Amino acid sequence: MNSDKLTVRPEPVEGFARAERGDFGSARNRASTSLSPNGIIDVRADFPGLLNADGSVWHYLDTAATAQKPQAVIDAVTRAIGRDYATVHRGVYSRSADMTLSYEAARRRVASFINGAESEIVFVRGATEGINLVAQSWGAANLKAGDRILLSTLEHHSNIVPWQLIAERVGAGIDVVPLTGDGRIDLDAMALMIDGRHKLVALAHVSNVLGSTLDAPRAAEIAHSVGAKLLIDGCQAVARLTVDVAAIGCDFYVFSGHKLYGPTGIGVLWAREEILQAMPPWQGGGSMIDRVTFAKTTYAPAPTRFEAGTPAIVEAVGLAAAMDYVAATGLTRIAAHEAELVRATRELLGNINSVRVLGPDNSSGIVSFAMEGVHPHDIGTILDESGVAIRAGHHCAQPLMEALGVPATARASFGIYSDASDIEALGRGMERVRKIFG
């Protein structure tokens, strides 16, 4: 990685042609990604949310919860909800046709981002809805009494509760894969546990607490060795890892747009086409039908079958713009950038005797820690007073907290805009915590 300034400014394309190409970034404010002298990506100026109302810098270290939005995404959303706005799929007037092109171009953009097919992309409200869709559609049609579902200790509640609901409904059971000593899903243990009773395996690609990364292709091989399907929760992966669903070999992949620098209210379910086409509809309403009569209703093919009602038009366009922004920077560069920040943060916290740093040394963009005698909420409050935003709590992963032997953790998580000043501010704040609590 060189230290020369690198600027990526795709040629602006307006109106109909922009929608045709799936070019969603702002012509005026596109992702200008530059490198600082030490090789760290410097794009803070693209993110207005990193400044407080008084113009001071906000050290935002909660990207694992939700990412700040670049101006390119804000501009794309503003245009889509303003001058370009119309409904999709229904109107015969030209603006509706143009908006339909933009919406479907967003689907193509998502497909290319994860190396899937356009016909395999279902827009949902977020990963939570995507997992529930699979559980209530595929699960209801394919799981029966006596079947088993395999999860892991580190899963987010959104990848636990939907499976509990369908398991209770059909009489299936749930097994849990343990973790290795450094907080990874133990695939050796998984290979010994899994058998022909297991029909569905659901695992996080990157842990939202520990930042540990799953060997997803191996997980797919293990699942498929007994005929089970594999669902991957990619919420923490898509913003920092190159995701190739074909190379992974999974059957379902879900993620949320707002963790990928896009809007809230939009997410993606990818499923293999033959699986998706065989799944029954989950929600009924407009758009997802072929023909409705009081005697019988027939349904549209997938993915339309799973997008009942007026879709999240603006949000889909914003998500595509976010993907353009991330692609302009490069996921390999983003991963390297965050790896250096993680290394520095783990070193900083490791030098505080009372702090226990959790997860593997090479965690992906996330550092969770606990301080002896100090509740994480107190750490978060004091850091907030110092202008530093972290997460404190169980992070929707209570079974993992129990396994770690802590009620909660403090978590610093990084994004494309994070830099050394954030770590320095975290260090100053933690010194204040230490002085206050002795």
d(CA 361, CA 373): 24
- 3-state secondary structure at position 13: coil
| Token pair of 31 as six digits | 């992702």
- 3-state secondary structure at position 57: strand
| Residues labelled as active-site residues | 396
Report CA-CA distances (Å) from 375 to 59, 384, 408, 409, 425.
Answer: 21, 14, 8, 8, 20
Residue type, 415: G
Residues making up the chain, counted from first to last:
438
Adjacent-strand bridge partners of 124:
267
Residue ranges in 9-126 assigned as alpha helix (H): 15-21, 71-81, 94-114
Report CA-CA distances (Å) from 425 to 66, 191, 386.
Answer: 20, 43, 8
Q: Is 373 left (phi over 0), alpha (psi -120 to 50) or beta?
A: left
Helix 127-134 and helix 161-170, axial crossing angle in degrees, nearest 10: 20
d(CA 233, CA 79): 31
d(CA 430, CA 370): 12
**10 Å Cβ neighbour count for 387?**
15
d(CA 384, CA 365): 20
CB 348 within 8 A of CB 339: no
